[in-house]
Structure 1
């Protein structure tokens, strides 16, 4: 099976794990701190502004929790998002308000955001679809002008930049996912960035039970009674650990290599699928934008999209659509009419994209896709006639 995603781990990551085993310290410790410092350098921020957590989802929940939302407060987010963001808003007692997105990039524009903002809006969440930075610069500027918090869901965008500035540093909060399907993998894990230093310290507390000072072995040297508890407010335990952090440090060093190969594969897809009748490929990136290239998506006639996915699966090629529109999910109680999101949701299909693919794999995907598209389009044409 040619998979959609596939983690790229090997001898370096295994050596790092073995070193953690040798130290007999698998939990939150020095390697966690080192990974946070390395990721902060990657972002160009101070280490105290980033916290390594056990998932990108945990980062979303922490960011929303730090906003102290109340019933009646609204958070605007694109419908074409991962469900974790909407769940975090609901869990905080606020209301998710879904906005539309550009139907080709699947990223919300400033105009999409503004159409959903009301006097009750306390925060905006943007997802950088497939690693494309999107309209984040204009959105961030407008949020600052209006005093609305901006949360960047940068799960897909660990190496994305706008004019050299890392995606995730434009808003007030950002988080990255390092699960087994992402570009930088730690098995499970994530990083959260918090712009305000006081909020960053608070988020770090909330990530570990709300403790002002952890009460374990590492603090015996700084407190005479290190077992006593100081909890300004209750939290949860969603911190990362040295085992996954050690893998993350290796992956971060390899990131240019991993993203470079993704870029080559995207260029190959673009070249091989250029001018294919009835098929759209991702639009070019604007000047100054760099993508992590997490997704490669095509858009086709909605009457053939699902059949294409089935045909490719039959040929040993796994595809899917990310992300299903949240305004259609009954649990979120939305009555929004989002024409561009609906258009994209019926036409978009994500093709395999990961550094483990060979050029031959991509050509196999393209050949299967072209064959299926021609056959299914002909069937649809005959049915209409």
Structure 2
């Protein structure tokens, strides 16, 4: 972040030296969870395009439509009740943000839209149907690179327990 101070920069430099091992740990955790959910009807990890390689700062868990007697939010709450760190949604779509919709990037101006050289549609609306559908069908599992195999197994067991209890 460009607004950080010298101490934050120092910590950041040290963390950069650990980045490869952090990413490897998160990929290990995500792969183990994916294997654990491979035959779990109704739950799966979020789609990753072919050739993509995520760093998994969090893990999207897909909830198949109609697979459960509860909503996605209720499934997430049930997983949370099992002690697993989840968030029922992660709806951070820039095109829906107030600063974007109301052109408040650099208040009180309406820059960049108000710049004389701006040639785009100043009133354009950008529906993000696919992004909204993805957000509405997934909840977020918070993972950490230091999770042991036992920690991952606990998370998978809780996910499977909830899936089995509420499968339609």
Instruction: Tell me if TM exceeds 0.5.
Output: yes
SS at match of 1:353: coil
Question: Which residue is 2:90 aligned to?
Answer: 322
Question: Which residue is 2:112 aligned to?
Answer: none
Pair 301,325 (structure 1): closer, same or farther in 2 beyond 3 Å? farther
**Does the CA-based 8 Å contact 1:325-1:345 persist in structure 2?**
no
The counterpart of 1:353, out of the listed 124, 143, 150, is 143
- Bigger relative contact order, structure 1 or 2 (CA pairs below 8 A, ≥6 apart): 2
1:1-385 → structure 2 map (5 Å cutoff): 53-54=2-3, 240-287=4-51, 289-301=52-64, 303-320=70-87, 321-325=89-93, 332=101, 337-378=127-168
Long gaps (5+) in structure 1: 1-51, 55-239, 379-385
SS at match of 2:12: helix
Task: Flag the structure with larger Rg.
Answer: 1
Residue 299 of structure 1: CA displacement?
1.0
**Does the CA-based 8 Å contact 2:44-2:62 persist in structure 1?**
yes
Q: Distance in 2 between matches of 1:276 and 1:373?
A: 8
Q: Distance in 2 between matches of 1:345 and 1:284?
A: 14
Q: CA RMSD in A?
A: 2.5
- Tell me the TM-score normalized by structure 2: 0.70
Long gaps (5+) in structure 2: 103-123
**Does the CA-based 8 Å contact 1:262-1:355 persist in structure 2?**
yes
Q: Distance in 2 between matches of 1:324 and 1:373?
A: 26
**Does the CA-based 8 Å contact 2:46-2:138 persist in structure 1?**
no
Q: Distance in 2 between matches of 1:281 and 1:316?
A: 19
Q: Distance in 1 between matches of 2:10 and 2:97?
A: 38
The structure carrying a bigger strand percent of its residues is 1
Residue 329 of structure 1: CA displacement?
5.6
- Number of aligned pairs? 141
Q: Distance in 1 between matches of 2:74 and 2:21?
A: 35
Residue 325 of structure 1: CA displacement?
4.2
Pair 257,326 (structure 1): closer, same or farther in 2 beyond 3 Å? closer
**Does the CA-based 8 Å contact 2:26-2:56 persist in structure 1?**
yes
